[in-house]
Structure 1
Amino acid sequence: MPVKNYGVLKGSVIAGKPERNKHTPHYQIHMEGEDNIYYRVAINVLSSCEESKVLYLAAEEFNSSLFSLLPTLSNGFTRVDSTNKELAIDYIRSKLFDSAKMKPLMHHIEGPNNDLNDLIDNHIKKAQAEKATVYIYGSKFISKSKDYVFGFQPTNGIHNIHMNQGNLGKFYNDNGTFQDGCILIQYETIWVGIFLAFFCQSWCTDEDGNPIIMCRHNEVNLIL
């Protein structure tokens, strides 16, 4: 069963907030999608599987056919399904980047610019300062209550901003193809792609996104 409400949020950054001292920390982004409609983007920075590190890649001057499609979207959340499947992202099948270049990072290390919170924060703060257009791929959630991080109401949000296939255990039912999450930042003609995955996910999956065999991100090329 794939993740629910998969799609892409287009908007601008209002604020970014690292989390370090929580049981399940996320990097939180306050974004405006449609005029005066706000979203909280919750990015996993700690893995709950056997390896606590999260795999990370920031591809600068990133290039993709998506760049001719995404700017045509209206601000706000666009559901991605069979009617507009050309917008979907799949880390394995879309061949957007070399998975072997992803690096495992901890969410908190003493000092500047050396952990996952720091690196994401640098990109988000730059996007905010330069008023870049930001695209967040993941699953939409909504609550009538006040957002517990940024205080707006009702709470619109995006999560699952990472690879959503190759899972074992309790996240097995989230597996699916062409439903992976990521962050894309548009600086006029230059784009940056930020991709995240968990160490325990397999990069060899079937047509349902379920693991065929366990192969790590730096082993997939050897197997295929």
Structure 2
Amino acid sequence: MSLESYGVLKGRPKDWRYGTGRSPHFQILLHDGQMEHRIAVNVRSKVPPSELLYFVDENFDHPLLSGLKDLDTGFHSLENKKELSLDYVRGELFDLSAMETLNHNIPGPDNDLNEMIRDYIKEAISTKGTVYAFGKRWGPETFLQDSCFGFRPGSGIHDIHMNQGSLKKWRDDDAPFNDGGLLIHLPEKDRWVALFLAFQSQCFETDETTGHCKEEKSESGSDTKDISESIESCQCVVSAGTIRIIAALVDPASDDPGLEMITLFNASPDDVNIDDWTIVDANNRKSVLKGTIKACSGVKVHLSGKGAQLYKDGGSIGLFDEMGVMMHEVDYRKDDVRTGWMVVF
């Protein structure tokens, strides 16, 4: 199964932020000539060992570059376009054995993953370079402004890392030719910089069809600790029930996609960032959320139809944080559903 909305986002970088907090991502503000986007780059793994694997090629050369140059700015779906897609295992992009580990927040200057990415983005900004971000798209989202840079509508791309050979929890995102990464074109010397990232829990011998690991690995990437133990041992900043599902439009009056809707409410006195939280339906289909819900306020989440779906015959809706911990869950029956009406929980 491939990533929902896998593709490449092309544009000019304008700003950046270090990756910090419990689920740190290095953030890049990108403009495609018409609208702004945010690139969220993982710099730490949720599963130990936490340091990411990385490889940088400061003079990258590959046949796919000629096709990338011809693309207009903006997001481009790469579904069934292997010639422009990234695949760490099959694409002959770089020597996998050359990947090294690097922490994201080492004390001192110019020595960690945050600072390494920062330097390349700063150079791209100063030279009017172009960034090509490969991963999974979210948005545009009219219901939330971007939680990092504040633009509206929220839009961006994440999963900027290898997307195959994953642990069981993330196997649904495995697929050949669906890997993430950053390619940066620096025009002054017509030079390309490539950054490739992977988690130490992933494997590099993967099935040609599914992208799943050919060899069984322990669920944490080690032989002694299960992934569920790793997740449950993390101290959750947001407690279950802080963000609640209070209503859902299960049967819109029109059949147009994107009209199914869920209303979330933040019952706490603090703003809550919901980046990488997920809505999960009764068939375990998922939609990833982005943005911030203001204190004592609600937001409407529109479902595109490609991820989580609402079923007229009844079902469940689950809300999970970025660590996979359930925050709230509701159920509804067929008798609760009326065309054009919200089901209120």
Report the TM-score, using the length of structure 1 for normalisation: 0.92
Inter-partner Cα distance in structure 1 for 2:13 and 2:48: 33
* Separation of aligned partners in 1, 2:77 and 2:115: 30
Partner Cα separation in structure 1 for residue 69 and residue 100 of structure 2: 29
Q: Does 1:16 align with 2:16?
A: yes
Aligned residues: 212
Q: Is the 8 A contact 1:202 1:214 kept in 2?
A: no
Deviation at 1:42, TM superposition (A): 0.3
Give the partner amino acid of 1:18: Y
Query: 5 Å matches for 1:86-125?
Result: 86-125=83-122
Q: CA deviation at 1:169?
A: 2.5
Could you say which residue in structure 1 is the equivalent of 2:55?
57
Quote how far apart the aligned CAs of 1:101 are. 1.2
- Supply the distance in 2 between the matched residues of 1:113 and 1:99 (Cα, whole angstroms): 24
Amino acid at match of 2:107: E
Which digits, 9 at most, give the CA deviation of each residue in 1:121-149, with x for residues without a partner?
Answer: 11111111111011110110012210010
Structure 1, gaps ≥5 residues long = 216-224
- SS in structure 2 at match of 1:213: coil
> Paired residue for 1:79?
77
Instruction: Give 1:49 deviation, angstroms.
Output: 1.6
Q: Distance in 1 between matches of 2:97 and 2:216?
A: 15
In structure 2, the gaps of 5 or more residues are: 218-345
- Mark the structure with the bigger radius of gyration: 2
Q: Deviations over 1:71-106 (max 9, x none)?
A: 100000000012x33111100000110111111011
Match of 1:67 in 2: 65
Structure 1 CA distance for aligned equivalents of residues 12 and 110 of structure 2:
23
TM-fit CA distance, 1:214: 5.5
Q: CA RMSD in A?
A: 1.1
Correspondence 1:160 to 2:159? yes
1:201 partner amino acid: Q
Counterpart of 1:12, as a letter, is R
Name the CA distance, whole Å, in 2 between partners of 1:110 and 1:141: 33
CA distance in 2 between partners of 1:119 and 1:76 (Å) = 25
Q: Aligned partner of 1:119: which letter?
A: M
Instruction: For 1:146 and 1:155, locate their aligned partners in 2 and report how far apart those are by CA, in whole Å.
Output: 5
Question: Structure 1, residues 17-60: CA drift from partner, whole Å, max 9, x if none?
Answer: 1022x110100000001x23100000000001221000111101
Partner of 2:4: 4
2: CA distance between counterparts of 1:187 and 1:36?
21
- Mapped partners of 2:61, 2:97: distance in 1: 18
Give the whole-Å Cα distance in 2 for the aligned partners of 1:126 and 1:172: 35
Report the Cα distance in structure 2 between the residues aligned to 1:126 and 1:56, rounded to whole angstroms. Answer: 19
Q: Distance in 2 between matches of 1:108 and 1:88?
A: 30
- Whether the 8 Å CA contact 1:16–1:27 is kept in 2: the answer is yes
TM-score of the aligned structures, taking structure 2 as reference length: 0.60
Secondary structure, aligned partner of 1:205: coil
Distance in 1 of aligned mates of 2:48 and 2:86: 26
The structure showing larger relative contact order (alpha-carbon pairs under 8 Å, at least 6 residues apart) is: 1
Q: For 1:66, give the aligned amino acid.
A: L
Letter in 2 for 1:99: L
SS in 2 for 1:158: strand
Residue 168 of structure 1, CA deviation: 1.2
Match of 1:202 in 2: 203
**Correspondence for 1:48:** 46
2:214 is matched by which residue type in structure 1? I
The amino acid across from 1:169 in the alignment is K
Aligned partners of 1:19 and 1:186: how far apart in 2? 23
1:173–1:8: structure 2 CA closer, same or farther, 3 Å change rule?
A: same
